[in-house]
Each structure stands twice: as structure tokens, then as C-alpha cells.
Amino acid sequence: MTDCKTDRTIIDKTRNRYIKICGLTKLDQAMAIANMGANAIGFICVAKSPRYIDKQAIAAITSRMMANQTDQMLPDFIGVFVNASIAEICETVSYAGLTAVQLHGDESPEFCKDLRSQLINQDLFNIKIIKALRVKDDAGLNQAQLFTDHVDALLLDAYDPHLHGGTGKTINWQMLQSFQPKCPWWLAGGLSPENVAEAIAQVAADGLDVSSGVERSAGDKDLERVAQFLAIAL
């Protein structure tokens, strides 16, 4: 079990944008991406995903990174969950040394509030909560306001009728031009080295999250594409 009582900030205001590279499964790639300056690496804790990684394998990566790297180079370790129970999330956070959780299913604002209490009750302090919303229209955006008191950041992803995430689909960015929730928010969904400059030009997100746009196959990142993405986005 890893010590997860670290205090890394989810939004570093000294930097322009917070960048998360998601869907990591390999230690060497996680280390390389951290050294490139990514603020966070994400692990998909969703058994049905082709990018699934179990808590033992995550712990093997996070513990090696914590042992090897200076604090400055250490990214946030974010676990992505879809409709998992609070008990399962807390257990994975504790075991795998996660510093944040991304809720990518149908979790309610009350669930986020209860999760916060349970994390603290279990001495899992400073674990950030990010609520992902899959938006297709303005109604989806209005829903975002319900979460802002209970989360550290919102993440907007593209809607897909069959998949929860990692779809490579983009949101209609024009719809997001006046999106200004009361908490930080990150843009996700189909970002890539080819389109990230245009995304940045169109929306004022505090952070960016990319997965399939920088990989060779599910869970196997293309480090050249990651470097290209970071060179534009950071």
C-alpha cells in the first residue's frame, strides 16, 4: 500500500493550464510523461475499458514513481471510475496511492459530497474529486452547476450513447465558449496534437485531458504524440 497523504494541487495557478494524460498502463511511459511536465496521469479503474488497470498494477507504478522522482516532477495520480461504490473508490485510492478521483459515470452531487466525507473519515486527506460530465447540449451544461460545491474540478467530455469515455469524440466547442462554472473545469474528448491549438483558441478551460488522441493502441501511449501535445498545450 502506498502513502497517499501528499498535497499536490489540482490546479496550479502559477501555470497556464493543467494537463492530464489519461489511460496509462505502463511504468516507463508514466515516468516519461511525468518528466515531460504533464500535471497528471490518469488510470482507468473501469473493468470494461480496454485501458483498464487494476489497483495492484497502479500501485506498482505510483510507488516506483514516488521513490524515484523529486516532488517537483511528481504528477497527480488520478483514478477514473464509472459508477463505482464509495467503498471501492476509497479502497483503490488508499491501495494505489491515488491523489485524485475522476467520476465518469452517473454519480450525483450527493454522491460526490458523501465521497468527500468518507475519504476524510478514512484519513485520505487532500484527495481531489473531479466530476466528468458527458455533454451533448445546453441541458448537460446546466447540470454542471449542481456539482460545483462538491468537487474540485469539472471535466467536460463528449457524449456517446454506448461508451462512458475514451471515445475520441469531440464536444461542440462553440457550445462551451461562455461556460464559466464556479470551480475550475477541464476540457476532454477527442483532443489530439492536431486539434488542441484550435481547442485552446475556442474555449477558456483551466485544464485539458487527452487519452486516445496520443496513443498507439488502447493503454499504449505514443510518446512522440504526447510530447507534441504538451508542447502546444502547456
Ligand X SMILES: O=C(O)c1ccccc1N[C@@H]1O[C@H](COP(=O)(O)O)[C@@H](O)[C@H]1O
Q: E strands along the chain, which residues?
A: 18-21, 40-44, 76-81, 100-103, 128-135, 153-158, 185-187, 207-210, 215-217, 220-221
- Which cell numbers in the block locate residue 2? 502506498
State the Cα angle at 45 between 154 and 7, rounded to 5°.
Answer: 55
Are 42 and 215 in contact, with CB atoms under 8 Å apart?
no
Are 3 and 94 in contact, with CB atoms under 8 Å apart?
no
Q: Which is nearer to ligand X, 72 or 107 (CB)?
A: 107
Cβ 209 to ligand X, closest distance in Å?
Answer: 4
Binding site for ligand X (CB under 6 A): 22-23, 42, 44, 46, 49, 51, 80, 82, 104, 155, 157, 164-168, 188-191, 209-213
- Which cell numbers in the block locate residue 43? 488510470
Cβ 112 to ligand X, closest distance in Å?
Answer: 16
27-35 helix and 223-233 helix, angle to the nearest 10 degrees: 30
Q: Which residues are catalytic?
A: 22, 157
Cβ 48 to ligand X, closest distance in Å?
Answer: 8
Cβ 83 to ligand X, closest distance in Å?
Answer: 10
DSSP secondary structure letters along 110-151: HHHHHHHHHHHHTT-TT-EEEEEEEESSHHHHHHHGGGTTT-
